[in-house]
Chains A and B, each alone.
Chain A
Amino acid sequence: MMIDHPILGPRDAEEFVYLGDACLMVRPDGMAADAAEAFATYLYARENPAGRHRELWFHEQGDQSWLIVTRCTRTHAIEKVELAQDAARAGVVGQ
C-alpha cells in the first residue's frame, strides 16, 4: 500500500506504524460521572467496519507525524489522507 502523505507525498505503508480506528483520538472525560464505562468503551469497543474506515497511522520512519487515513477494508484502496492535527483542530476526528 502507498500512503499519500499530505506533506511528503506518496510513501510506502511499511514506513508507518498502524494504531487503529481514528475514534481513539476522542478521549472521554475522565472526571465525568460515567467515566469508567466511557473508558471501557473507548479502550475496547470498535466499530470494525467492512468498507470505509478512518484510521490512525504514525509515520515512524518519516516525519513522525500522525495521519488519519480513510481506507476501504475490503479492497485496501486509500480514499483520503490528512494530518491528524489538522483534523483535531477542525474537530472532525470521530467516524
Chain B
Amino acid sequence: MKRFSGLRILAEGLTGNAGWRPHWRDAAPAEAYDIVIVGGGGHGLATAYHLAETYGEARIAVVEKGWIGGGNVGRNTTVVRANYLLPANQRFYALSLRMWERFEQELNYNAMVSQRGILNLYHSDGQRDAYIRRGNAIRFSGADAEHLDRAALERMWPFFDYDNARFPIRGGLWQPRGGTVRHDAVAWGYARAASARGVDIVQNCEVTGFDIQGGRIAGLRTSRGAIGAGRVGICVAGHSSRVMEMAGMNLPVESHVLQAFVSEGLKPCIPGVIGFGAGHFYISQSDKGGLVFGGDLDGYNSYAQRGNLPMVEHVCAGGMALMPMIGRARLLRMWGGVMDMTMDGSPIIDRTPVEGLFFNGGWCYGGFKATPASGLVFAHLIATGTPHEAAADFRLDRFARGHLIDEAGSGPQPNLH
C-alpha cells in the first residue's frame, strides 16, 4: 500500500497522475478462511481491519452482497457524536468518538473528519433540566458537553425561530467534539487498510446459508460457492433478521425504513450539526453545500429502501419550525435505508448459540458514528471469545434478563426508539 501524502499528490500531479492504483484488492473467495465477516459495510470492514491490525489474526475475508460502500455506510447522514445518557451506551460512543479523532492518521486516509460540533436544542424548563443531567452524564464519561443559554445561541445561530409560538427555543446542549465524517471515505479507508493487511474483500458475494455441524459453524454457502470458516462474524445491518434466520435465530429486531434528504447546494450558512428538541429533525451542511437532514422512521416494518411522502412532509415541517430560512431551498434528493431496530433501541454485539458464530447488529439508526468502536469491540469478541469492556452490556440475552438499555424509555416498541 502506497501512503498518501501531500508530497505524493505533488509528485503525481507532475507526472500526469499515472501512478494512482485501486485502493483495495477485489479478491476472489478462497476455499476456506480462519475468519469470515459477512457484510462489507463500515462495521464489517472495521472489524476485519482490527482483527488483522489490533488482534494479529490472519486468513480473514469480508464477503459483501453488493459493492463496498453501497449499503447503509453510504446512505447515512454522516453525523458522529457521543451524547448518550445511559452509561452502557455512553461508554461505548465516547470510545468511538476518540477513535474518530485519530481515524485519518491511523488509516492514512482523508475522511474529512469535521469536528464542527453538535447542538441539541431544548424548548421547556423540564427539557432543560433533562439536558443538563445528560450533559453531566456525558462529562462523567470523559466526553464533552456544554450548556448554552439563548443569548449564547443567538450569537452563533441567529437564524433560529427563537420565539416560535409553539416551540420557543430556550437553549441547548453543545458538544464541540461532535461533527461529521465523509461516510464513503470511511468504507474506502477501512477497505484499503484491511486489504493492505491481507484481508480478502469479496464483493458481489451473497450468503445463502450457513454450514453448521454439531452446533459449530463450519462455513458459509454463498452465491460464489461454499467458503469454509472457523469463525464467522455477522455485520449486515438492516438484514440482520434475514441472515440470522438462516442460523435458526429469531432476533429482537424489526427492520424499518428511515429517510434522509439533501437540498441543493448553498453557500455556507449552517454551523455545526443541529438537532431540534420539539420534534425529530436534525440538519447539517455538507462541504459541497447541500443541507443534509433527517427525522423519524416511517414507522412500519420495511425492507423497501424507500419511504412514503407523509414523512417527507413531517420532517420538512420540523425544519421549518426550527429555521424558516430553509423554506426556499429546494430538495435535491432523498432516499431510504433499512434499519435493524432493536426492542430497546441499543445494539447487540455478542456470541450466538452456534459456536463460532458472532453477531453484531441492531444499530437502529445510529450505526455510522459507532463504526470505529464497533469494529474494535467486535474484533475483540471474535479474537478472544470475550466481550470488550466497552461493549460488555450489549448482550443478546439482556432482553430475557430484563437488563434493557432503553435510552428513549419507550419499551419494546421499535418504531418509537
Contacts and interface: CB of A to CB of B under 8 A. Distances in A.
A interface secondary structure, majority: mixed
Contacts of A71: 300
Contact of B400 (A1, A21, A44, A53): A44
Contacts of B242: 48, 50
A85 interface: no
B254 A20 contact: yes
Interface stretch (B86-94, B140-148, B185-193, B302-310): B302-310
B390 to A, nearest CB: 24
B399 A44 contact: yes
A8 B221 CA distance: 49
Interface stretch (A26-34, A58-66, A73-81, A86-94): A73-81
B255 interface: yes
A46 B251 contact: yes
B412 interface: yes
B160 to A, nearest CB: 28
A18 B302 contact: no
B252 A20 contact: no
A1 B300 CA distance: 11
Nearest to B241: A48
B251 A45 contact: yes
Central interface residue in B254, B299, B414, B415, by most chain A CB within 10 Å = B254
Contacts of B300: 13, 18, 55, 71
A74 B301 CA distance: 9
A18 B303 CA distance: 16
Interface in A39-55: 40-41, 43-50, 53, 55
Given A43-B343, A55-B300, A50 B250 contact: no
Given A14-B310, A40-B400, A73-B301, A48 B254 contact: yes
Nearest to A1: B308
Given A20-B413, A40-B399, A40-B400, A45 B301 contact: no
A75 B303 CA distance: 8
Nearest to B250: A45
Given A44-B400, A50-B242, A73 B251 contact: no
Interface string B242-271: 100100001111110000000000000000
B251 A48 contact: yes
A13 B252 CA distance: 25
B217 to A, nearest CB: 21
Contact of A50 (B253, B255, B399): B255
B250 A47 contact: yes
A55 B299 CA distance: 12
A46 B412 CA distance: 11
A24 B300 CA distance: 15
Nearest to A39: B400
Contacts of A75: 304
A47 B244 CA distance: 11
Interface string B290-330: 00000000011111100010100000000000000000000
A78 B381 CA distance: 42
B252 A50 contact: no
Task: Sort A-B residue pairs by CB-CB distance and give the 10 closest, nearest first.
Answer: A48-B241, A44-B252, A40-B400, A44-B399, A45-B250, A50-B303, A18-B300, A44-B343, A14-B310, A73-B301
Given A40-B399, A48-B301, 5 more contacts: A20-B254, A20-B414, A40-B400, A50-B303, A55-B300
9 contacts: A12-B310, A18-B299, A36-B400, A40-B399, A43-B399, A45-B252, A46-B251, A50-B255, A74-B303
Interface of A: 1, 12-14, 18-21, 36-37, 40-41, 43-50, 53, 55, 71, 73-76
